[in-house]
C-alpha cells in the first residue's frame, strides 16, 4: 500500500534540515511504497494548500546543503486558533488541506513552537511525527537536537578567532551568541572556545562579579578577557522582574543589545578597552557538521520506521546512545534549559570559568 507523506520545515532554519528530510525520504522509499508531498514554508503551506508532489531526484545532493529545500516560516502557536483579519480558521484549513492532499501522515521538522502545533494537529485527528530541530538544543525529551552541534562549531570558531585579536590589542571582548531562553549554545561554545566568563539566561549574573574577573586577569598580567554571553542573559535584578517589564526596559535602553550594555559597564568599571562581537545568523548558516548529518539521518530514518509501523503522535529523540521517540503530548510546550548544577556547568567552574554569579 502506497503511503503519502507530507513533510514541512517550520520556524528558524538551521544546518541539518535537508539531511533530515533526506533521511526520512530515503528510508521511506526503501522500507515501503512511498510518495512524498513537499509542503512549502512550514505551516503556512499547510494552511494555504501550497505543496508539490516531490520526485526522488529532488532529494539528491542535499545531505551537505544548509537551510531547507522546502522553505520555512514562523507561525506562532499562540496564533493558530486565532482567526485574524483574513478570516481564516487556520486549524480548519490545515485539516482540510491534509485531507485534500490525501496524506497518510505529515512529518514536521522544527523546534518548540513547531512541536506544539504538531501536537495540536495530532489532537485534531491527523497523523503526525515531529523531528527536533534547533540550534538552541532546548527541546524537552531529547539529549540533542540537530543543528546544535554545527552552531556550536561556528560559535566556537568565532571565539577562537576573537582570541587572537583580543590578545593583540589587549582588549576585553564580549561575544553575544544566540539563545534567548536557553544557554546551551553559549555554554558549550564558551567552554570549547576558552571563554573566561560565560553568561546564560538560566544563571543570573552580577556585573560586579564579571568585572572582578576582568580586573583579576589584568592584575595577573593577562592582557585580554573573553566574555561569552547568550542574547537572553539577564542580571540578578532583571531576573526578578516580569518578562514584560524587563523587555520594556531593554527596549527603552540606550543599548541595542545585552553585549553592548555589558561592554559599556566593563569599560567604565575596569578601565579596559572593550568591544562587542555579534555573529548573529552566521550561527544558523552553512553546511551541517558530520555529527549533525549523522544525527539528522538517524532521526529521519526512525521517523520512516514509525510511519511503516503506523505509530503516530510521536516526536523523535536521542536519549543516551539510542534513537527513540516520545509522545508529542508529553513534550509539547516544555523546554529544556541549562540547570545551574549541570555537569557541563560544573566542569566550567572546575576550570575557573566564571558564570557571573559567584
Residue in 96, 89, 130 with CA at minimum distance from that of residue 110: 130
Residue in 116, 118, 177, 112 with CA at minimum distance from that of residue 145: 112
Cβ contacts of 270 within 8 Å, gap of 6 or more: 172, 211, 214, 215, 218
Question: What are the grid coordinates assigned to 27, written together?
Answer: 528510508
Please classify residue 256 by burial: count the beta carbons closer than 10 Å to its beta carbon, then call 0-12 exposed, 13-18 middle and 19+ buried. exposed
DSSP assignment, residue 327? E
The yes-or-no answer on residue 48 being catalytic is no
> Which H/E stretch holds residue 89?
none
Residue in 294, 8, 343 with CA at minimum distance from that of residue 144: 294
SS3 294: helix
Q: Find the catalytic residue in 136, 196, 235, 292.
A: 136
> Which H/E stretch holds residue 4?
strand 3-9
Residue in 198, 205, 200 with CA at minimum distance from that of residue 183: 200
Tell me the C-alpha distance between 303 and 19, whole Å.
13
CB atoms within 10 A of CB 293: 23
Question: Residues 177, 162: contact at Cβ < 8 Å?
Answer: no
Tell me the C-alpha distance between 158 and 140, whole Å.
28
Question: Residues 292, 15: contact at Cβ < 8 Å?
Answer: yes
Strands 172-177 and 225-230: parallel
SS3 273: coil
Q: Which residues are catalytic?
A: 136
Amino acid at each position: 500500500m502506497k503511503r503519502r507523506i507530507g513533510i514541512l520545515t517550520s520556524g528558524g532554519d538551521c544546518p541539518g534540515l535537508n539531511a533530515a528530510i533526506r533521511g526520512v525520504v530515503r528510508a521511506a522509499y526503501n522500507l515501503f511504497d512511498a510518495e512524498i508531498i513537499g509542503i512549502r514554508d512550514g505551516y503556512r503551506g499547510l494552511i494555504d494548500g501550497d505543496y508539490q508532489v516531490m520526485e526522488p531526484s529532488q532529494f539528491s545532493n542535499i545531505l551537505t546543503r544548509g537551510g531547507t529545500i522546502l522553505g520555512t516560516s514562523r507561525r506562532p502557536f499562540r496564533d493558530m486558533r486565532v482567526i485574524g483579519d483574513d478570516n481564516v480558521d487556520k486549524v480548519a484549513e490545515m485539516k482540510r488541506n491534509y485531507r485534500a492532499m490525501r496524506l497518510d501522515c505529515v512529518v514536521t521538522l522544527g523546534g518548540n513552537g513547531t512541536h506544539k502545533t504538531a501536537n495540536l494537529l495530532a489532537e485534531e485527528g491527523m497523523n503526525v511525527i515531529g523531528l527536533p530541530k534547533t540550534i538552541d538544543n532546548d527541546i524537552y525529551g531529547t539529549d540533542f537536537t540537530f543543528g546544535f552541534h554545527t552552531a556550536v562549531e561556528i560559535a566556537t570558531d568565532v571565539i577562537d578567532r576573537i582570541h587572537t585579536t583580543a590578545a593583540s590589542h589587549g582588549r576585553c571582548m564580549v561575544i553575544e551568541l544566540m539563545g534567548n531562553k536557553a544557554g546551551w549554545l553559549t555554554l558549550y561554545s564558551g567552554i570549547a572556545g576558552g571563554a573566561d566568563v560565560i553568561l546564560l539566561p538560566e544563571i543570573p549574573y552580577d556585573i560586579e562579579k564579571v568585572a572582578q574577573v576582568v580586573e583579576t586577569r589584568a592584575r595577573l598580567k593577562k592582557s585580554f578577557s573573553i566574555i561569552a554571553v547568550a542574547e537572553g542573559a539577564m542580571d540578578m535584578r532583571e531576573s526578578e522582574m516580569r518578562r514584560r517589564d524587563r523587555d520594556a526596559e531593554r527596549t527603552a535602553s540606550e543599548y541595542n543589545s545585552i553585549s553592548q550594555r555589558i561592554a559599556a559597564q566593563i569599560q567604565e568599571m575596569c578601565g579596559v578597552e572593550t568591544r562587542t562581537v555579534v555573529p548573529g545568523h552566521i550561527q544558523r548558516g552553512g553546511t551541517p557538521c558530520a555529527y549533525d548529518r549523522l544525527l539528522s539521518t538517524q532521526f529521519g530514518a526512525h521517523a520512516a520506521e514509525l510511519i511503516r509501523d503506523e505509530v503516530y503522535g510521536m516526536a523523535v529523540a536521542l536519549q543516551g546512545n539510542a534513537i527513540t521517540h516520545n509522545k508529542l503530548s508529553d513534550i509539547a510546550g516544555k523546554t529544556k534549559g541549562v540547570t545551574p548544577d549541570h555537569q557541563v556547568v560544573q566542569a566550567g567552574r572546575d576550570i575557573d570559568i566564571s558564570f557571573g554569579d559567584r
